[in-house]
Structure 1
């Protein structure tokens, strides 16, 4: 299911019908979108973003999601990863998506609007899970500046915020998946991950564009630690 989407590498490329009023960068982005097989496959399968295939491919390789698990999707909008999580964990699982931006409902998931760093929003997330999370997902990324060092610091800050949340709500043996940039996790974050998780690795799924510096840190086997989530009722 997560293999190369249909139609990749086949046929002729699609050109923009008009470039009037668009910058060169905008024209390049639109042309790439029009010819991206993952974009086309996402539309065909009713997925909200091509990013959904990144989670599908990582899950196919690492078996991160299983039926019945509790999953939290941080910074979930527009909801592609949430859709994948719901599909895999099934009706016996629980998926909670939270984003500071409004997000259309995803059948089978609880969608919350708010900043998960806010204690009230965190509590709402915990209550919606009805217990500790088995997996915390974060595909969050800030708007890029084009300055590599700045962009790395900004995306790592989001990953560290996500990790801090995960350490508070994950159940023992749980997993944390977050977007980072090439160069991987910072030394301090990597030390925390290795202390709190049995296995830590960096993954670049095929759906991640070759010219993109993004990677994903995948930490599995949460050892426990500081957790404020209540036990299941």
Structure 2
């Protein structure tokens, strides 16, 4: 049966080999049989540029490349952690970079896909940080810093991000309902798929007088999270991690 898969928020890092193993198994056993795979951001815990010479990056790129070469196209939308993934990595991985918001056709039904951080407009501090880090000239300068400096900067940002999350109420970090409705109306769709909030769920909504649906992908901290869409319907599924010996 035709099937399209969506994942997000894996936060792959060298410190979590269990997540990497689950991802690689998913790619080898499931993604290769799909009609398409969409990665909706935060694939990596942090990206400092395509020139990072890590074994993890090579493993991930190789897994995507093998998938695409076997006939499953791979599409990628940047998240708030991996927005420095660029064209070089995309070429090596055989994947297609998409803009931050994209409407796709899911078996005859239009769907808006995104990472989801742009929906969290109540978090003014984060939205300000997001705008600054997307400045092209700032990214250009960052990529010309020595690799060690970039790694140190990334470690510092991770620490500040963790502290910031502890200091904020959960409502501020979640999506703004009015912004969700605005994006659905703006893009003339009644289906939205995103990640970022780490709150997997299927939300049935009413936008004006029309029913709509918002599907939130889960993170991969304790188990895998996959949205599987077929012509008959869609299911938000979990994937257990294998026991590490």
**Which interval holds the TM-score relative to the shorter structure?**
0.3 to 0.5
User: What TM-score, normalized by structure 1, do the two folds share?
Assistant: 0.36
User: What TM-score, normalized by structure 2, do the two folds share?
Assistant: 0.35
